[in-house]
Every structure is written in C-alpha cells, then in structure tokens.
Amino acid sequence: MFAIMSLKFAWVVAILTVLVTLPFTCARAVLEERDDNLPARVPYVFPPPGTDALADDIRSRRDGGVLLDLDGILLNDENLATAWNGLASMIRGQNTIPADMRELFILRTGVLNEAAYVWLQHESVARSGQHFAPQLNPTNPLNASQNAAMLMADFMTKNVNVPQNVFDGLKKFLSNKQMVDAVATVGTYNLVARFVEALDIDSKANVPVPTPQ
Ligand SMILES: *[C@@H]1O[C@H](CO)[C@@H](O)[C@H](O)[C@H]1NC(C)=O
C-alpha cells in the first residue's frame, strides 16, 4: 500500500517537473542556432528536414533540432556521419563519468587545441547545467577530482603519454568503466577539435578561444 502510494507520488512529481520545465526547454530551443554559418574549407551538406534519415537522426539529438555546421561537414560522408553520431551520442548522453567532469574534459581539450568552435558549442552546455568548467569561473578553484581530471586531459592532449601517477590520481575517483569513458571523452574531443580546426568549420580556426578573463 505504502509502495503504491509512493509510486503514485513519484508520478505526480515527474509530471509536475515536466510541466514546470517545459517552457524553459522550449525557450532554449529558440536560442539554439549556435553557429554563425560562416564557410568551412569544404561545402556544408544540409538535407532539408524529412528528406534524409541520417540527417533527421542527427537533428533529433541536437537541441532545437538544428543541424550544426559540424554536422553539415560530416554529412559529406554518410558513413563517417553515422559512425560519428554513434560515438558522439554515447559520449554526450550515456557517459558514466559525472557531467561536470565530462564538460571539464571537453572545454579543457578545446582550449588546449585552441579550438574556438568547440568552446563556443560547449560553454553554454557547461553553464546551463551549472557544471563546473575550467575558466568559466576563474575565482572558483578546482577541487581534488577536478584537478585530477584536468591533469589527465592535459597529459593526454599535450604529451599523449600519460604517467602512471596521473592515471592513478584520477582512478581514485572513478571506476574502471568510468576511467575508460574518461579517456574516451578526452580522446574524442581531441578528434573533434582537430577535425573542426583543419576543416575551418564555421570559419573559427583562427578565432581565439573566448575564455573569460
Ligand atoms: C568536486 O566538485 C564536483 C562538482 O560540484 C563534485 O561533483 C565532486 O564530487 C567534487 N569532488 C570532490 C573530490 O569533492
């Protein structure tokens, strides 16, 4: 009896939560066109909605259902776009590491690669989720797990070779599965950063990363 009542209560809370957050979700969708639609080094391929299953699938995981300039470049090669969509969906949506650590990895890797495009895409994600991210709040010092994560991102990105003590430092806070996801996150965003830089996506290759001062 008690269990049934609390189950009902959970439903009421869930429905109320959806009702309360719906206007914000919709408002955010309007703001979602984050690219400037400036040229890249190859043309963008943007199939109109309803004409291309893969493009529609990518739209479905983008806030506001709008393809990014990154997607327009990927769609030059459907097989690449399919594989990329699978990896990116996992890293963004099914990652087992804490969300604040995920966004820290992404922004840090973007900064180290001087990839303004990555920073501009993710700064709003980090802010809206209230996830701590390096340089979003320079007055807020990193705590122990964030420090360990930052060191991991720095060694993976700048040195490639990761010293055992740097790995062990982060392992104190994460399971084996999370360590694999952590390394995959930094690795994936090194790929993303180099991809957007070399193809000058949204003409951002030579734009300085706008980190807050
Ligand atoms: C560091 O801060 C994050 C975000 O508030 C928190 O989730 C995490 O548990 C903290 N780590 C430690 C070691 O306190």
Q: What is the pTM of this model?
A: 0.82
Polymer length in residues for the chain: 213
- Tell me the Ramachandran region of residue 24: left when phi exceeds 0, alpha when psi lies from -120 to 50, beta otherwise: alpha
Fold of 37-203: AhpD-like (1.20.1290)
Please indicate whether residue 181 or residue 140 has the higher confidence score (pLDDT): 181
Q: Sketch the domain layout of the chain as residue ranges.
A: 1-30, 37-203
Distance from the Cα of residue 162 to its chain's centroid? 23
Gap between the Cα atoms of 153 and 147, Å rounded = 10
Task: Give per-residue pLDDT as tens, 26-73.
Answer: 334 333 467 898 999 999 999 999 999 999 999 998 888 999 999 999
Gap between the Cα atoms of 104 and 135, Å rounded = 10
Gap between the Cα atoms of 179 and 123, Å rounded = 24
The pair of structure tokens assigned to 38 is 């400036």
| Ligand 1 contact, 132 CB (< 6 A) | yes
Predicted pLDDT of residue 142: 82
| Ligand 1 contact, 145 CB (< 6 A) | yes
- Residue 123 amino acid letter: E
Residue nearest atom 1 of ligand 1, based on CA coordinates: 143
